[in-house]
Amino acid sequence: MSKICVIGTGYVGLVTGVCFADLGNEVHCLDINEKRITELNNGIMPIYEPGLEEIVERNVNAKRIFFTTDYEAALSQAEFAFIAVGTPSGVDGEADLQYVREAAEKIAEVVDHSIIIVNKSTVPVGTGDWAADIIRKKRGNDELEFSVVSNPEFLREGSAINDFMQPDRVVLGSFDHSAAEKVAKLYHSLRAPILITDLRTAEMIKYASNAFLATKISFINEIANICDELGADVREVADGMGLDKRIGRSFLDAGLGWGGSCFPKDVKALAHMAVLHNSQPQLLQAVMDINRNQRRRIVYKLRNVLDGSFSEKKIGVLGLSFKPNTDDMREAPATEIIYLLLNENAAVQAYDPQAMENAAAELPEITLCKDPYDTAKGVDALILATEWNEFKQLDFNRIFKLMRTPILVDGRNQWDSTRLREIGFTYIGIGQGNHNGNGGQS
Ligand code: NAD
Ligand code: UGA
């Protein structure tokens, strides 16, 4: 059993904290957001993540996890301080390190015993050294013993607990090998491969992994757009490619492009780092361009079917979170598409199973509906933006009667186009080309 402090109780911090508690450690989760900590102490989760509430409740009852805003209390006798604060995009695309800096300074201020500082936030290569410098400077010349270990996190929202408990790998980077070994022990019971590298290499593994996954998605989206024009079906192309073990099927689902709190900011930050250090990140630029255009392309396709204008048109959108099983709307493709539609004077109504509270704050210009059928009522087109399970088996005969014009835009290739066309819908998919070179419409 180890005593662990986790700084930041967002997706990564809260999941890390509760999973380490579940593995038998004593975990003190710390946040500067008082409301968040009060709610956590009252059993209210700050985010929607499947399975999170149950595992938190179990560990609160077992007195293995505690929530506080008090740095001194949380760090008292902690062997490990995990940093899991946000690293959003700065003005120029760089990672904004202000929260990491504040966390490092606070640790330097209050710690009075030797400690291993483990960074889980996604940070530019070199940040581990930078954080160590901040702590040393703040302490002056005293003899505080500390080591910095980079431990990038690879969990996905929507399956975060599972991803943490069954990781493909654990990456640890440090110049202090024995500190990295101590962190490795925290993960031993998960029986995952553990890779120990130097600090900078571990930091780069995180960016390279996210950038590669984003590249896979942009690649298949580019292929999808070519499929549209040439009459091939990208879903089967992805299946055919994916059977090659060197390629793999995952992250080859064509759609509206990648969103979320990480891919967009991380690809941007890696490109920024590259330019700052005399490299030309041409591939990363193309990956971002393709992604941006994927949203515009669907608006273009729909405008064409609507005879060239969105004026006086009402559009329904199903799904507002950036992916299913989360209420996170950061950089969600749906939001970008909605703004493009609003700019062209369309009226928009939408529904999401979990993101309605966030949507009310972020998209005050649209009407929020109570379910998919309410969203279909009176619209000229219905767009599937996020592939929540509850949108997969809709009563399309009912939807056909509810819509003003029966146009379906399947932004995630989830629906059966043949059946929908039989009902009478105009169906627009992604890369499902219909051999007429007309961009997949019919
Ligand atoms: P988040 O925005 O959900 O949560 C960050 C939390 O840190 C907030 O609750 C905030 O109040 C708190 N915080 C900020 N400054 C603080 C400070 N000085 N002291 C204590 N608490 C502070 O962020 P997130 O999505 O959990 O991401 C955290 C980091 O992990 C980012 O670098 C991100 O790139 C990376 N990451 C995220 C995911 C993901 O799925 N969200 C996955 C892997 C890695
Ligand atoms: C992603 C990575 O998968 C995690 O390994 C990483 O830890 C995390 O970013 C992070 O650094 O924050 P996440 O953003 O939660 O996780 O979700 P993903 O499942 O990767 O999906 C990201 C986006 O890509 C979503 O908008 C999703 O709809 C899109 N996507 C995904 C596709 O368009 N096609 C696919 O085949 C897969």
pLDDT tens for residues 321-376?
999 999 999 999 999 999 999 999 999 999 999 999 999 999 999 999 999 999 99
Greatest pairwise CA separation for the chain in angstroms: 77
Q: What integer best gives the mean pLDDT of the chain?
A: 96
Ligand nearest to the CA of 123: 1
Q: The tokens of 166 are what?
A: 């069954």
- pLDDT value of residue 438: 46
| Contact between residue 46 and residue 30 where contact means Cβ atoms under 8 Å apart | no
Residue 258 C-alpha to ligand 1 middle, in angstroms? 20
Per-domain residue ranges for the chain?
3-197, 213-428
Count of Cβ atoms closer than 10 Å to residue 215 Cβ:
18
Q: Which of 5, 11, 102, 110 to mutate to test the pocket of ligand 1 (most atoms within 8 A of CB)?
A: 11
Count of Cβ atoms closer than 10 Å to residue 120 Cβ:
22
- pLDDT value of residue 435: 44
Q: The tokens of 328 are what?
A: 């996170």
Q: Please state the pTM of the whole predicted model.
A: 0.96
Ligand 1 atom nearest to CA at 14: 26
Active-site residue (options: 5, 19, 29, 262): 262
Q: Which residues line ligand 1 (CB under 6 A)?
A: 7-13, 30-33, 36, 84-87, 99, 102-103, 121-122, 153, 155, 157, 261-262
- pLDDT value of residue 411: 98
Instruction: Describe the strand order of the beta sheet including 146-150 as a list of residue ranges.
Output: 65-68, 26-30, 3-7, 80-83, 115-119, 146-150, 170-173, 194-197
In whole angstroms, give the CA distance from residue 56 to residue 64. Answer: 10
Ligand 2 atom nearest to CA at 157: 15
Confidence of residue 30 (pLDDT cuts 50, 70, 90): very high
Count of Cβ atoms closer than 10 Å to residue 78 Cβ:
22
DSSP 82: E
Whether 219 is in the pocket of ligand 2, judged by its Cβ within 6 Å, is no
Q: 3-197 and 213-428 share one CATH topology? A: yes
pLDDT exceeds 70 at position 442: no
In whole angstroms, give the CA distance from residue 183 to residue 118. Answer: 8
| Residues in contact with 259: Cβ distance below 8 Å, sequence separation at least 6, in sequence order | 322, 323, 330, 331, 332, 333, 336
Long-range contacts of 196-201 (CB under 8 A, 24+ apart): 196/172, 197/171, 197/172, 197/173, 198/173, 198/174, 199/128, 199/129, 199/148, 199/149, 199/150, 199/173, 199/174, 199/175, 200/125, 200/126, 200/128, 200/129, 200/173, 201/173
pLDDT exceeds 70 at position 437: no
**213-428 maps to which CATH number?**
3.40.50.720
Q: Which of 261, 274, 281 is nearest to 94 (CA)?
A: 274
Q: Which CATH class is domain 3-197?
A: alpha beta
pLDDT exceeds 80 at position 86: yes
Q: What average pLDDT does the segment 21-46 reach?
A: 97
- pLDDT value of residue 434: 62
- pLDDT value of residue 141: 72
- pLDDT value of residue 143: 80
Whether 377 is in the pocket of ligand 2, judged by its Cβ within 6 Å, is no
Determine the Cα angle at 108 with ends 104 and 112, to 5°: 140
Residues of the chain with pLDDT > 70, as a percent, come to 98
pLDDT exceeds 80 at position 439: no
- Residue of the nearest CA to atom 11 in ligand 2? 262
Bridge-partner residues for 68, per DSSP?
Answer: 30
Give 130-151 pLDDT, tens digit per residue. Answer: 999 999 999 887 888 999 999 9
369 is catalytic: no
Residue 330 C-alpha to ligand 1 middle, in angstroms? 13
Whether 254 is in the pocket of ligand 2, judged by its Cβ within 6 Å, is no
Confidence of residue 33 (pLDDT cuts 50, 70, 90): very high
Ligand 1 atom nearest to CA at 12: 26
Residue with tokens 């292929």: 223
Confidence of residue 183 (pLDDT cuts 50, 70, 90): very high
In whole angstroms, give the CA distance from residue 380 to residue 300. Answer: 15
- Residue of the nearest CA to atom 5 in ligand 2? 154
Give 306-324 pLDDT, tens digit per residue. Answer: 999 999 999 999 999 999 9
Ligand 1 atom nearest to CA at 9: 9
| Contact between residue 215 and residue 287 where contact means Cβ atoms under 8 Å apart | yes
pLDDT exceeds 80 at position 224: yes
Whether 217 is in the pocket of ligand 2, judged by its Cβ within 6 Å, is yes
Question: Is residue 30 helix, strand or coil?
Answer: strand
| Contact between residue 59 and residue 65 where contact means Cβ atoms under 8 Å apart | yes
